[in-house]
Chain A
């Protein structure tokens, strides 16, 4: 049919197409359904299968340690990241180079190696320097220090990008009004920068939660270490590691949906 289309028909048709598109299977968040199905299946298994239930009960107390490590490390690394990020964009070349050295050092070494090095070398040295015994600092605290130092470097790059995303004219406008560099940073640049980096910080929180599993390297009894101890005692690898996967996946799924929601809200505002 090549005849002219009535405007009314045209509208009706495009309305229909739009409705079809909403039902389009390619547009639906299938991945979310799949993940939810996997989680549901695992949850159901834990609820109905005795040995899974037992593994779950033994492992779950580790969640307190996992969350404690994640939250402490996150707060410290945000502070470190902010300081290092501001150093990174500083006009003072000493501060700038100090910040770059820190970031490049951390980025150049595997996380596992950094954790071992910080926990068994750096922290004991620091501990000795301030007059404590070599082993005065508990393993969990060492791990938090290590994770904070590592993520502080990652977040420095996020904050740097955030500050650099604010147009140069903002600093010029602030300075032209007689505000100092620091005042302009604090009242004008940072509030805008932090807004743009919030989703990236959320993603790093999720990454941090996952990397907290490395606490098992130091024998800290988080979720992962609890699961490993359980398998050591019972040799029930299937139960322990499936339950462990289930626990991490549930947490990261909730968090990543939260970050996406945040991103959409910021995108609109």
Chain B
């Protein structure tokens, strides 16, 4: 390997890297630019806006639909995340730390659920929710989100829990800690990064869902952002809602970009922990 070759390769790889950055950012920039265009410029077919206006954002937030959907999305995604993580923590602890006959069964079940097609149960859930009054409520979405993210969180947490030197709590006990103190001061800090990582992934899933949101909600009471955006109508019947859709899209993409920027390392670790380390 020569030095010149080295340098050439560096340049080459950097070139490819730049291409990847462009690849990832184009739709984001495009939707941002659409959202900043004036209504009259929407059809100018230009990638960047000629004149910048914030009218679309004003319109989106003045309409009752979008702020409600945003509130629903945050609330439902956060609650579903919390529940999923708590249940998954119990299960993952048992899977990693305890011996029991049904372990394989639980793991197989988890695997099966991760492949389960959600569309197969929207009918029954729709019917069931209508009967027991969960249709178009937060709980009606939280329950399926929690369930469908359990495999993801159980896997991710198991992968992280396996790496924890559990014997450290024995050391803490020897050092004079009560079982609770040992958990609080030794095990919990070690487990926290994994729990946090799993929570990010679950949140992204719940934040992203469209199928359940369209099937199991009908009004601003529980409709989340993806469903709301898909059903946006213009302020008047004849107006194309493109600008509003773009503005709303930007608003909901910003949290994701912030999460990605802040927690890049964790997300990558979490995504790959469950799948490869096993």
Say whether A and B bind each other.
Answer: no
B interface residues with partner A (beta carbon < 8 Å): none
